Amino acid sequence: MIHLSHWDLVLAALLVLLLAFLSGRLQRQLRNQILVAALRTTVQLLLIGLVLKWLFDLAHPAFIGLISLVMLTVAGREVMVRQGRRLTGWWSFGVGTFSMFLSSFTVTLFALWVIIGNEPWYAPQYAIPLLGMLLGNTMNGISIAMDRLTQSAWQQRQQIEGRLMLGATATEAICDLKREAARSGLIPIINAMAAAGVVSLPGMMTGQILAGADPVEAVKYQIMIMFLISVGTGLGTLASLGLVSRRLFDERHRLRLDRLHVGNGDRRAS
């Protein structure tokens, strides 16, 4: 593998500065956003590099568990803040985090135990990147799907209640909206699988090839990751939709929109 020197990174950074300068002529805010984001990338990745190095040397299951929990909590918070109208109380954070835990952790453990079969199974070189990729993708699917379901329940209240009035159960009344939400949560991963290798070369595989791995070996890993990600995203999305739609109704099958926060958009407008 060819090592990157500091100067190589500086050259790439100069290109970002050029981009910031050019876009700053259009809009100053955009320039600042680019600079801040570039700075965050540098600092965050350097830090995680140090953490991973330390973690790999230590390889203690308790620390790996701790890091996994931190990753899960941050992902749970991301899901929550992406919601236009989130569930009140701890429900929004709870549903998102629990669904991600359920899907990402099970799929990662399955991959570590059954597929990779590494010794020890929790070896951080495998466990952490796998969990990271799964969490990142599951997070997208879940936050899109939950947002879609709560928004459409809010907007189509009349339709849902119209069905309830004609004697539908809560499940029947919301099933169309749930189906649409599941579809929008799963579109990104379906697109990624369909376009892989033709339109896009997935990042993990590209990284392995750049690092000198055999392309066929890299491809096999990528296929496995794609499958795991789609299963994780699918399970997580379905779990979160099930929990959200249950929370949207009470035991008498009444639609309880009072369990949703007033949307961010509305608050900004008022």
Instruction: List residues near another protein by CB under 8 A.
Output: 158-159, 161-169, 176, 250, 252-255
Residue 157's closest CA among 256, 73, 223, 234? Answer: 256
* Residue among 10 and 166 whose Cβ is closer to another protein: 166
Instruction: Name the token pair of 131.
Output: 């969990």
Per the rule left: phi > 0, alpha: psi between -120 and 50, beta: everything else, 249 is: beta
Q: Which residues pair with 260 in a beta bridge?
A: 87
Q: Which is nearer to another protein, 167 or 212 (CB)?
A: 167
Of residues 101 and 249, the one with the C-beta less far from another protein: 249
DSSP category for residue 84: S
Q: How far is the CB of 251 from another protein (least distance, A)?
A: 8
CB of residue 145 to another protein, shortest distance in Å: 21
Closest by alpha carbon to 235, among 112, 105, 91? 105
- In whole angstroms, the minimum distance from the beta carbon of 269 to another protein comes to 23
Q: State the nearest-atom distance from the C-beta of 87 to another protein, in Å.
A: 17
87 close to 95: Cβ distance less than 8 angstroms: yes
Strand partners, 178: none
Report the number of secondary-structure helices (H) and strands (E) in the chain: 11, 0
Q: Report, in Å, the least distance between residue 185 CB and another protein.
A: 22
Residue with smaller CB distance to another protein, 13 or 262: 262
Q: Is 146 within 8 Å of 182 (Cβ atoms)?
A: no
Name the residue nearer to another protein (CB basis): 131 or 181: 181
